[in-house]
Amino acid sequence: MQVEPQIKSRPTYPKVELRPHVQQHLFVSTAEGFPVIRPLYEAAPEAERMLYLFDSEGEGEPVDADSHRLAELATVLNGAFSKLPLASALYVAGHEAFLWDVRNLALGAGMADEQIQLCAPVSNRRRLFCTHCYTLMEDVTHSPHVCTGCGRELLVRDHFSKLRGAYVGVQINAEDTSEQPAVEELS
């Protein structure tokens, strides 16, 4: 009996801890994620910490790289870390797509992955990337999911793209669309 290999691209989230020898701590969070990151924020020296809090990620308001709020954050990241790029740390809390959007902005501002800590996502909501029409969909919680771009029923895979902050969706039973799997909640 051959065992299929485990998916290696699904992100794991180690415990986030305050880095003691850092001169600049930047905390970025959604309202939903703030309770997770608040103890770290309060433990950081007041003169060395900054908080950038997003009010909400409510339905109908996807957080993506084109949003006005993330553009503002990019400016903050470029300004905050241009002077202390090696003596800084970024802590991020919220939904998974938000975590990776912020991480990618930070990398673009010159930070290294080692400076960035992502808290475990606050919900099972996922961003989904359709491999057929390249549509990105927010707040996906079940598989299969109907693509908003091409209308195909997609199986939500555990393959993850760090660049897009999204999981991959592939068409279910392309040869015989009458065979459909049961709806399953994502974890």
Residue 16 lies in a domain: no
Question: Is the bond leading into 62 cis (omega within 30 degrees of zero)?
Answer: no
User: Hey, is 109 helix, strand or coil?
Assistant: coil
Q: 46-78 pLDDT, tens per residue?
A: 988 988 888 654 433 444 444 667 778 888 777
Q: For the chain, how many structural domains are there in total?
A: 2
Q: Which two tokens stand for residue 108?
A: 């673009």
Q: Name the nearest CA neighbour of 63 among 121, 111, 113.
A: 121
- The tokens 């309770």 sit on which residue? 35
Rounded to two decimals, the pTM is 0.84
Mean pLDDT of 133-151: 95
One domain for residues 59 and 137: no
Residues 114 and 146 in one domain: no
Q: What is the mean pLDDT of residues 113-136?
A: 95
For residue 171, being part of any structural domain is answered with yes
